[in-house]
């Protein structure tokens, strides 16, 4: 018989597992930051070999040379992420009763392995030309590397939430419109970040050199079109769509009486991220891709996705969980 104190408990809360999953979710942003900075300064080929760096795990000069520091620290943080992913997958497999959560742990580990392989092949295939394209095969691999990173963020957020005490103790179900709008916003953000990955790795960040309009003369549309201009313009259009969709989600969350205090706080944070991201995007153009601003734009984009996904995953809690009797 279910406990009257907690009649809809779904699983046993494991504090150490919850802390470990939260650490893994936090560490992925360290990895993303270093990866974004490496790409921004063009340091992806600071070392021509992989998995070692100049044949060493501690290459000479990497602490004093910015390019070497960016790339090698990215590799070290990736290795740390791999160890965290292995530990999390095994821990979930050995202790977690929820099959779907165990599957998430293994899915995250698979993505980390794929990411490591893509990162290595990006280095090894850097000189391999692809007929009809400006980028080499190794350079092309930067795009799926960036997209998979965002999906991995979502998996880690899902695991961390699902291990938390608040998730297990359950909040009241939210409305269908919150659920649907949150999923829509996540989908739009993934599309936007995918466009951004293509734009970033095709050096299209300044393909339209003015903002908010497309020319210094105030034209809405660019005077000429090519692949890079199309990517940049699509990125701006998606930003406008998100500038409508995300505030709509925030309003729905805050008006829903079943929304928890945490969901309301997350929605306010999400709105702040949206405004900051728009400002940073504009500043990237105005500053001609200043490195710190460009890196910050990438990270805030990932934080925006993570927060939106947190809301969507939390909203669907009752669809994922099946209550069990508590002793």
d(C-alpha 222, C-alpha 207), whole Å: 10
Q: What's the helix, strand, coil split of the chain in %, to 5? A: 70, 0, 30
Q: What is the average per-residue pLDDT within 220-237? A: 95
- pLDDT band of residue 321 (cuts 50, 70, 90) is confident
Contact, 168 vs 10, CB < 8 A?
Answer: yes
The residues, any chain, with a CB within 8 Å of residue 304's CB and separated by 6 or more, are 189, 246, 270, 273, 274, 277
Contact, 130 vs 140, CB < 8 A?
Answer: yes
Tens of pLDDT, residues 72-120 = 999 999 999 999 999 999 999 999 999 999 999 999 999 999 999 999 9
Q: What is the mean pLDDT of the chain?
A: 93
The residues, any chain, with a CB within 8 Å of residue 62's CB and separated by 6 or more, are 53, 68, 69, 72, 73
Query: Residue 9: is its pLDDT beyond 60?
Result: no
d(C-alpha 87, C-alpha 21), whole Å: 10
Backbone angles phi, psi at 56, to 5 degrees: -145, 155
Q: What is the average per-residue pLDDT within 6-25? A: 82
Q: How far is CA 234 from the centre of its chain?
A: 20
227-255 vs 261-286: helix crossing angle, rounded to 10:
160
Closest CA to 299 of 98, 178, 157, 146: 146
Contact, 190 vs 155, CB < 8 A?
Answer: no
Tens of pLDDT, residues 241-291 = 999 999 999 999 999 999 999 999 999 999 999 999 999 999 999 999 999
Residue whose pair of structure tokens reads 């990497």 in the numeric block: 62
- pTM, two decimals, is 0.92
pLDDT given at position 282: 96
Query: Residue 213: is its pLDDT beyond 60?
Result: yes
- Any idea which architecture 171-327 has in CATH? Up-down Bundle (1.20)
- pLDDT band of residue 7 (cuts 50, 70, 90) is very low
pLDDT given at position 320: 86
At 56 the three-state DSSP class reads strand
Tens of pLDDT, residues 148-176 = 999 999 999 999 999 999 898 876 789 99
Question: What are the tokens at 250?
Answer: 């925030």
One-character DSSP codes across 309-321:
HHHHHHHTHHHH-
d(C-alpha 230, C-alpha 66), whole Å: 32
Query: Residue 69: is its pLDDT beyond 90?
Result: yes
d(C-alpha 212, C-alpha 305), whole Å: 23
The residues, any chain, with a CB within 8 Å of residue 25's CB and separated by 6 or more, are 156, 157, 159, 160
Closest CA to 201 of 127, 134, 253: 134
At 12 the three-state DSSP class reads coil
* Percent above pLDDT 90 for the chain: 88
pLDDT given at position 73: 97
- pLDDT band of residue 3 (cuts 50, 70, 90) is very low
Closest CA to 203 of 124, 123, 143: 143
Closest CA to 186 of 69, 76, 315, 87: 315
pLDDT given at position 323: 58
Query: Residue 5: is its pLDDT beyond 50?
Result: no
pLDDT given at position 2: 39
d(C-alpha 289, C-alpha 206), whole Å: 8
Query: Residue 204: is its pLDDT beyond 70?
Result: yes
Of the listed ranges 171-180, 185-194, 236-245, 285-294, the one predicted with least confidence: 171-180
- pLDDT band of residue 319 (cuts 50, 70, 90) is confident
């Amino acid at each position: 018989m279910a406990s009257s104190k907690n009649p809809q408990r779904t699983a046993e809360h494991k504090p150490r597992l919850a802390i470990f999953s939260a650490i893994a979710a936090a560490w992925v942003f360290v990895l993303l930051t270093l990866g974004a900075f490496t790409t921004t300064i063009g340091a992806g080929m600071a070392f021509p070999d992989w998995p070692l760096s100049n044949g060493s795990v501690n290459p000479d000069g990497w602490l004093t040379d910015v390019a070497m520091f960016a790339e090698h620290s990215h590799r070290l943080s990736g290795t740390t992420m791999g160890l965290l992913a292995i530990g999390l997958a095994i821990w979930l497999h050995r202790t977690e009763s929820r099959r779907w959560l165990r599957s998430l742990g293994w899915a995250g580990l698979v993505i980390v392995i794929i990411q490591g392989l893509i990162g290595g092949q990006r280095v090894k295939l850097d000189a391999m030309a692809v007929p009809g394209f400006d980028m080499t095969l190794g350079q092309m691999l930067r795009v799926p590397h960036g997209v998979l990173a965002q999906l991995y963020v979502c998996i880690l957020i899902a695991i961390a939430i699902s291990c938390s005490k608040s998730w297990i103790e359950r909040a009241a179900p939210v409305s269908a419109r919150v659920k649907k709008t949150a999923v829509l916003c996540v989908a739009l953000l993934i599309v936007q970040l995918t466009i951004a990955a293509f734009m970033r790795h095709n050096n299209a960040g300044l393909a339209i050199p003015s903002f908010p309009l497309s020319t210094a003369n105030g034209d809405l549309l660019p005077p000429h079109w090519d692949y890079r201009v199309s990517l940049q313009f699509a990125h701006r259009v998606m930003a406008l769509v998100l500038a409508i969709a995300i505030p709509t989600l925030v309003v729905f969350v805050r008006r829903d009486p079943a929304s928890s205090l945490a969901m309301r706080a997350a929605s306010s944070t999400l709105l702040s991220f949206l405004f900051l991201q728009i400002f940073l995007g504009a500043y990237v153009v105005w500053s001609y891709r200043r490195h710190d601003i460009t890196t910050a734009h990438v990270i805030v984009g990932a934080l925006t996705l993570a927060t939106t996904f947190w809301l969507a995953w939390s909203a669907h809690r009752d669809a994922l969980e099946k209550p069990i009797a508590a002793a």
